[in-house]
Amino acid sequence: MDDRVQDRDWIAASAVILDPTGLHARPAVKLTKLAKTFAAAVEISADHGVGWINAKSPNAVMKLKAGPGLPLHIRAEGEDAAAAVDALVALVERDFHD
Amino acid sequence: MTDAAGDERSFKGLGVSGGIVLGYAHVLGEQVCTRARGFSSVEEETRVFRAALGAAAAQIEALIAGEDKLAGDILEFQLALLEDDDLLEPVFSRIAGGMACDAAWAAVMDGEIAEYRRGGDDTLAERAADLADLKARVLRVLGGAGAEGGPIRDRSILIAAELTPSAFLGLDWTRLAGVATLGGSPTSHVAILARARGVNLMVGLDAPLDAFTNGTLLLLDPEQGILTLQPDQDAMTKAMGRMAEAAKEGKSAHTLLRRAAVTADGRRVYVLANIDDPDLLGTLWPNICDGVGLARTEFLFQRSLPGEEEQFAFYYRLIGWAGGRPVTIRTLDAGGDKPVPGLTIDGEANPFLGVRGMRLSLARPEIFRVQLRALLRAAALGPLKVMVPMVTVPAELETVRAMMHAELADLERAGAACAMPPLGMMVEVPAAALTAASFAADFYSIGSNDLIQYTMAAARDNASLSPLADPLNPAVLELIRRTVEAAHARGVEVSLCGDMASTPAYIGALLDAGLTALSCAPAQIGPVKLAISRYRPQSGVAPR
């Protein structure tokens, strides 16, 4: 799977999770809902090394256990990838508020 | 004695609220869906499963729409999972491999639940319960059942391993006779909800779930903490007698509802209502109480952080509802067993001794200020009092007062209608009870639930410690007495707003301690007034 992934043109960025509970139920749902509005493949990862997971899957996002105060890495691939990365970074940076 | 040849079995539990009642067993949980589907075809199983996902989503959406903010985030998360392609893909591939859709769904969800529990991460382990909830909901739909466990007959007594606040609020309690849960404790959040609504509830039931079959006759006795399966003739006769007695008491309590509460020796006692949920306002007449002694604000924070206007709207409604009676609103009391996603601090080793109540408010002043501003504006509308939970040392109360004055000045500069309300404190930490007189509080409100757990060092969510968490323990009563004395010495009001005040059996001890204002669950106002009307001071002096 990794080989295939490396062939693709990912656009990536990071943002620090401010919410003291980390990627909890409410932020996880918000993040996946936003990711789903883009056609691009969107993935996230955290520094504790579980690898990249699908940002459109609330179950996977929950299991990532991305903790507070740590960077969340975001990458996207596809037509609207740049917009997707910008939008997700902005969501994390405004602490998941509307 | 017995003529039914020993079919009767009794189980012990802890009574939370309500009285003796007869009903039919209805087991909530996986037993509901043991009837497995047979595999038809890949197309049919896929179609049936997709329809079940849609039906489950509709049920959850209805729950979310029902102003059920308490569990809003959790329900939103469950709803999102129903649309999670990564989660559903293995279900569809199992179906394609010839598995019936219910078995496929259960297998995938069981794997996920195990994974959530495995990590040793408390937050994730809590979410495992939501996955189990979702798994059961879809299985119920697949079993042909409707919402919430399907056809639950009238007069059912529900038997469940655990009941979440969302599950509790999703049930129609006007049709049900009661509920008994294996887990839970008398001071948990569901217990508070049950008491407010007068639901017959017993927790910590010492029985295996498989002891119960749907439709079996049950006698639920929360007063004595006993659940009897297939009661014999003798037990039935006794129960009928007690039910008749309870009905008479209920009638007496009902006739007292709209009268001011007075003890048998003529002392006036103020009975106020605890409001935990705005839905209660629509079902209550304010003229049955002397005001609101405790309005909780946690429900405002369940979905997301509420703005000043949203908070003000509720305070406005509450003060209007009370129609000139005093209203005491408690600032956010999150933490402990009341986490608020995005606000409370996860991963504290001991949340009950952690950053909860006003400690959390002071740690997040930007959020606290919004609530204070809404309260200061509401104070201009009527007789509002504001109290702060978990105060431990006088400096904390002074910090809050200073913040209020700063916000008041700011509102005044902006030309907003506002006023400084009396600022009181909850007395629920033993340190505060022991030194109550040293706080510059405008009033005291004793929170018996937390005062008991901190005095007895017995966590309120731990069912096995319930016998230790005795409200009548001399140490607890001593702390209540000292608080009352401090209030009298300082010439300020004092009341008690914990579950003790909602329990007729404890009213005597509270009046003995010198209290003359009690704030209780709305459904208990009648019974509490009845207990007050029967009270005579024991030999005229409070025991020392």
pLDDT digits (tens, 9 = 90+) for B436-480: 999 999 999 999 999 999 999 998 877 788 889 999 999 999 999
Mean pLDDT over B116-144 rounds to 79
Task: Return the CATH superfamily for domain B260-540.
Answer: Phosphoenolpyruvate-binding domains (3.20.20.60)
**CATH of the structural domain B33-142, one choice from 1.10.1060.10, 1.20.1260.10, 3.30.420.240, 1.10.274.10:** 1.10.274.10
More confident residue, B194 or B431: B431
Q: How far apart are CA B129 and CA B184, in angstroms?
A: 14
A&B contacts, CB < 8 Å:
81
Identify the pLDDT of residue B73.
77
Question: Can you name the residues that pair with B465 across neighbouring β-strands?
Answer: none
Which chain B residues contact residue A95 at CB under 8 A?
A: 342
How does residue B151 score in pLDDT terms, banded at 50, 70 and 90?
A: low
Q: Do A29 and B80 touch (CB under 8 A)?
A: yes
HEC string of B259-282? CCEECCCCCEEEEEEEECCHHHHH
Kindly determine whether residue A24 and residue B341, on different chains, have CB atoms separated by under 8 Å.
yes
pLDDT band at B542 (very low <50, low <70, confident <90, very high): very low
Instruction: Number of helices (H) and strands (E) in chain A: give both, helices first.
Output: 4, 4
Is residue B1's pLDDT more than 80?
no
Residue B268, phi then psi, degrees to nearest 5: -80, 130
Task: Tell me whether residues A21 and B74 touch, CB distance under 8 A.
Answer: no
Which residues in A lie closer than 8 A to residue B84 (C-beta atoms)?
32, 56-60
For residue B154, pLDDT beyond 70:
yes
Residue appearing with tokens 């029902």: B66
CB neighbours (10 Å) of residue B174? Answer: 7
Which residue is closest to A65 within chain B, CA to CA? B124
Token couple for B413: 């500069």
For residue B303, the chain A residues in CB contact (below 8 A) are: 26
Per-residue pLDDT band at B375 (split at 50, 70, 90) = very high
In the predicted structure, residue B68 carries a pLDDT above the cut 60 = no
Instruction: Record the tokens describing residue A41, joined without a space.
Output: 């493949």
Q: Which fold has domain B9-28+149-240?
A: Glucose Oxidase; domain 1 (3.50.30)
Instruction: List the single residue in B84, B119, B123 with the smallest CB-CB distance to A58.
Output: B84
Q: What is the pLDDT of residue B247?
A: 83
pLDDT at B178 over 60: yes
Query: Quick check: is B488 catalytic?
Result: no
Domains of chain A: which residue ranges?
2-93
Which residues in chain A come in under a pLDDT of 50? 1-5
Of 3.30.300.30, 2.60.120.380, 3.30.1340.10, 3.30.70.20, which CATH number belongs to A2-93? 3.30.1340.10
Q: Is the pLDDT of residue B47 over 80?
A: yes
A18 touches chain B (CB under 8 A): no
Instruction: Say yes or no for a CB contact (<8 Å) between B123 and A29.
Output: no
Give the residue from chain B lying closest to A18, CA to CA.
B342
Give the gap in angstroms from C-alpha B205 to the nearest C-alpha of chain A: 31
Identify which of A27, A57, A96 has the shortest CB distance to residue B84. Answer: A57
Angle at alpha carbon of residue B436, lines to B433 and B442, rounded to 5°: 125
* B304/A56 CB distance under 8 A: no
Question: In one letter, which amino acid is A50?
Answer: V
ipTM associated with this complex: 0.86
Strand partners, B327: B292, B384
Which tokens belong to A30? 């918000």
Which chain A residue's Cα is nearest to B123? A24
Q: H or E stretch including B255?
A: helix B233-256
Mean predicted confidence (pLDDT) in B49-67: 84
User: pTM here?
Assistant: 0.60
